[in-house]
Structure 1
Amino acid sequence: MEYATESRDDTMSTPVERKPDWLKIKLTTGENFKELKNMMRDKTLHTVCEEAKCPNIHECWANRTATFMILGDICTRACRFCAVNSGLPTELDLQEPERVAEASEQMGLKHVVVTSVARDDLADGGSSIFAATIRAIRKRLPMCGVEVLIPDFLGNEESLRTVLAAKPDILNHNIETVERLSDKVRSKAKYSRTLELLARSKKIAPEIPTKASIMLGLGEEWSEILQTMDDLRAVGCNIMTIGQYLQPSVKHLKVKKYYTPEQFAELKIEGMKRGFSHVESGPLVRSSYHAHEQVKSAQQN
């Protein structure tokens, strides 16, 4: 089934149309939020919650959950959907894994999500820092779940093996959009390379659940969303998250469609029919949203 929703021109001069009511965000800035923000600054840590302007930051931080972003805050890529700064990174902090582990311990986390900017300037893409971070968290919090959201490492299999050898509980790599739009939306990343990475992960460490996310509203067709689901399942992907793309600035791609909560609910049904162990689908869903619940579903599958 195809849904007709509002569309618009993709030029920078097009005014941003008003967001639907279901995209309104409740701001919560209680003590947990303030404490977590201060902790991140004290330990000179970055979070994708802040850098990517995640709409769920107030909810998640109020509940003492966050997604750490390692390897600095400057990405070597410039994807047209992403709010993270791009350029030539200068930061490589070998003590960062320990600080992430310390913060996780102080927060009393039961599930930690670790992601990063793309570091194409590094020979291993930063995979050794990912592995060190996983091990540091496990040393301090043996019972804590650890999920990693990794870049594609330009297809380097050894970098992927380095991360998997540290035994994360979930290996996440986002597909971001449908195949037809991938080259327009992403920088350097390829639709086929994402599928290849997820397939390789299953061959190298079949016991580790894999996960991928897609954002909607960039001009994709309903049938293309379903095809993306089929492509992910064909490489054994266990978990899928589906959310609404929101334009972070006038320099980024325009929103072409706003999907309704009912449409997201239907996509969750379509995903579960295809055999995903968990599908998180909603307008404000992002990759790490309710991540602790997703790992439980994957383990039970």
Structure 2
Amino acid sequence: MVTLLDTTERQDAEARAARPRHPEKARRPETPTQRKPDWLRVKAPGSPVYRDTQKIVKENGLVTVCEEAGCPNIGECWSKKHATFMIMGDTCTRACAFCNVRTGLPDALDQDEPQKVAEAVAKLGLNHVVITSVDRDDLDDGGAEHFYRVITEIRNAAPGTTIEILTPDFLRKPGALERVVEAKPDVFNHNLETVPGLYLTVRPGARYYHSIRLLDRVKQLDPGMFTKSGIMVGLGEERNQVLQLMDDLRSADVDFLTIGQYLQPTRRHHAVVRFVPPEEFKSFEAIAYAKGFLMVSASPLTRSSHHAGEDFERLRQAREARTRA
């Protein structure tokens, strides 16, 4: 909370808040927004447990992707004391057309952040925690060492908590992935976000096949580590492109696939081409299971970290069942 900052820190915080949130995105033409269908409507947050979670996050000076990305599930998750922590600041070096996180030149890393995250995890009493980050192309290792330290501190402060990470692609950062895997998170998640044909407009700073190779490399380094990836639909992809993406992920031995509806954060972001009805998500789920994924979560409101703790238990059970079979 700003009230806990000294004068200099408060001035820094105010300066960051005053910066344009999306300097690159502001130059994009506005696109029309569509009225959400009934199946995408959620209750406004505000339960006592939600407020307790919010208080712990603020008191520890932490950033959550729940807030930064405007996740529609924040009320449900925070009411269960589930939060996805976003490390390395609130400013990303890339300007993806779907993302509501601030774009620009990030501040220096907070060297105390690993301990702050670990303390918050312990205070919340989390059984399972998800750690994600902004892209930090400005750092020599893309933030890999910071991920390593966060994981290590959580292990020390909350040894019973299982850890899921959602990482950037560490593009052109030799040794970065290896350092993160060395910390041994329980789940390594890296989202493809969309089909390869849409990368130029939706995720221009990334490379689809680099992301596939990254997920494949995780399994090479640690065959027992669970891997996970997710995409959004409604961006203009074709059904057969989604099915091919599933095959690409299975070729990298990815265990868990999430598929959710893309929601347009502002008029300056990529337009929603289509609201995909729930029955199509059910179809994607059935096909993904048939292709060999251990776990699939596909629904309009599915997000990478939604129900992550419950899904992790189901993931472990699915592996055990397949091993016995």
TM-score by length of 1: 0.94
The RMSD of aligned alpha carbons is 1.2
Q: Counterpart in 1 of 2:285? A: 268
**In the TM superposition, what is the alpha-carbon distance from 1:156 to its structure 2 partner?**
2.8
1:84-123 matched pairs, under 5 angstroms:
84-123=101-140
Task: Return structure 1 stretches of 4+ with deviation > 4 angstroms.
Answer: 11-14
> Cα distance 1:14–1:165, how it changes in 2: closer, same or farther (>3 A)?
closer
Q: Deviation per CA, 1:173-216, whole angstroms, max 9, x where unpaired?
A: 00000011112101311111110100111111111011000000
Q: Counterpart in 1 of 2:194? A: 177
State the AA in 1 paired with 2:130: V
Q: Is 1:160 paired with 2:182?
A: no
Contact residue 99 and residue 265 of structure 2 kept, 8 A:
yes
**Secondary structure at 2:131 match in 1:** strand
Structure 1: runs of 5 or more not aligned: 1-10
1:1-301 matched pairs, under 5 angstroms:
12-300=29-317, 301=319
Contact residue 140 and residue 173 of structure 2 kept, 8 A:
no
Q: Mean Cα displacement is larger for which, 42-51 or 24-33?
A: 24-33
**CA distance in structure 2 between the partners assigned to 1:77 and 1:12 by the alignment:** 18
**CA distance in structure 1 between the partners assigned to 2:253 and 2:167 by the alignment:** 17
Q: Deviation per CA, 1:249-292, whole angstroms, max 9, x where unpaired?
A: 01100000111111111111111111111101110111111111
State the AA in 2 paired with 1:119: R
**CA distance in structure 2 between the partners assigned to 1:13 and 1:93 by the alignment:** 35
**CA distance in structure 2 between the partners assigned to 1:77 and 1:269 by the alignment:** 34
How many residue pairs match? The answer is 291
Contact residue 155 and residue 197 of structure 1 kept, 8 A:
no
**CA distance in structure 2 between the partners assigned to 1:99 and 1:124 by the alignment:** 22
Structure 2: runs of 5 or more not aligned: 1-27, 320-325
**CA distance in structure 2 between the partners assigned to 1:49 and 1:110 by the alignment:** 18
Identity %: 47
**In the TM superposition, what is the alpha-carbon distance from 1:294 to its structure 2 partner?**
2.5
Larger radius of gyration, structure 1 or 2? 2
**In the TM superposition, what is the alpha-carbon distance from 1:297 to its structure 2 partner?**
3.0
State the AA in 2 paired with 1:23: L
Contact residue 155 and residue 193 of structure 1 kept, 8 A:
no
**CA distance in structure 1 between the partners assigned to 2:314 and 2:242 by the alignment:** 22
